[in-house]
Homo-oligomer: A and B are copies of this chain.
Amino acid sequence: MPAQMQQILDAINTDLRDDPDRGEVASYIPELGQVDPHQFAITVATADGQIYSAGDATTRFSAQSITKVFTLAIALGRSGDQLWRRVGREPSGTAFNSIVQLEHERGRPRNPFVNAGAIVTTDEVLAGREPREALAEFLSFIRAAAEDDDIHINADVARSETAHGHRNFAHAHFLASFGNLKNDPDKVLGTYFHHCATELTTTQLARAGRFLIGADCHPRMVSLDRVRRLNALMLTCGHYDGSGEFAYRVGLPAKSGVGGGILGVVPGKASIAVWSPGLDRNGNSKLGTEAMERLAREMDWSVF
């Protein structure tokens, strides 16, 4: 398999890196808007400890919403099923930044991966502490998962998100108006914008995602039961209003970020990280999705 895997990744990289139809790079903050759209990287970390990469797998990119998986794991570790009193587990049927559902369901976000839900999760992780303490716990977790301490937060990106984050401020205050925020909105968003500004390579991300493979995979960060539940949430809600489409085409639990990265999981077998900055109309990496679809088909990895 190793030879075959490397060949598949190389072929995907060769075919996709010159694809002219790459989607649109996120431009709501300059730090993301200036990223070269022609980059592409893919890494697979297998359950037996192997790492396979192709493309720009040593270039760091902004993880953005992919970090929501890690903060969710931490929040569940801290609060257990209490968290579900504050946030639901259903696909939203609306855009990641829609506030309509939040009003209809009186301040309880549909799931932990839409922005409002991730703000609640971050609030749960913050838990009365200072943002830097919560961020230290977050970095600790993701570094331990990747077994790599060279993972950092880009403070410029976090600052820029704050300056352009009116929609997220609206969500945080709206949550607060329903009593569903325990900490000060500014502190919660400070923490949120910072963990989203984590930068890593596909190699680091694929390694960090191994804790979701389950089975006897190393390192064990959370229980197998919780791994399955995190994967279920990633499959049903991980791509916002494109989650059904991703499940249909790829058939794997995965979480996308507006920086163009996607973290995918093959239960029992592998963790996958892809990165291509251009996004489709739902805000998910266009070529990243195609790479995942092709890899899953060639490896026969669909969970279905």
Chain A residues proximal to chain B, CB less than 8 Å = 88-94, 98-101, 103-104, 110-111, 166-167, 169-174, 176-177, 185, 214, 227-229, 231-233, 235-237, 241-245, 247-248, 251, 253, 267, 302-304
- Report the Cα distance A172→B169, complex, angstroms: 9
Which residues on the B side are within 8 Å of A231 (C-beta)? 304
Instruction: Please pick, from B90, B171, B173, the residue contacting A91 in the complex, using a CB distance under 8 A.
Output: B90
A233 closest partner in B (C-beta): B248
Instruction: Please pick, from B166, B229, B245, the residue contacting A173 in the complex, using a CB distance under 8 A.
Output: B166
> Is A174 a contact of B185 with CB atoms below 8 Å?
no
Assembly of this chain: how many copies?
4
- Report the Cα distance A185→B165, complex, angstroms: 12
Q: Max chain B CB contacts within 10 Å: which of A91, A100, A241?
A: A91
Instruction: Please pick, from B237, B241, B245, the residue contacting A244 in the complex, using a CB distance under 8 A.
Output: B237
Instruction: Please pick, from B89, B235, B241, the residue contacting A304 in the complex, using a CB distance under 8 A.
Output: B235
Q: How far is the CB of A276 from chain B (nearest CB, A)?
A: 23
Instruction: From known contacts A90-B243, A166-B185, A170-B173, infer whether A251 and B233 are also in contact, taking CB-CB under 8 Å.
Output: no
Can you list 5 A-B contacts (CB < 8 A)? A90-B245, A100-B103, A100-B104, A169-B185, A236-B236
Which residues on the B side are within 8 Å of A247 (C-beta)? 232-233, 235-236
> Is B93 a contact of A90 with CB atoms below 8 Å?
yes
> Is B166 a contact of A170 with CB atoms below 8 Å?
no
Which residues on the B side are within 8 Å of A100 (C-beta)? 99-100, 103-104
A230 closest partner in B (C-beta): B304
- Report the Cα distance A243→B304, complex, angstroms: 16
Instruction: Please pick, from B90, B232, B241, the residue contacting A241 in the complex, using a CB distance under 8 A.
Output: B90
Given contacts A99-B103, A166-B177, A227-B304, 10 further A-B pairs with CB under 8 A are A89-B244, A90-B91, A90-B241, A229-B248, A232-B302, A232-B304, A235-B304, A236-B236, A253-B304, A267-B304
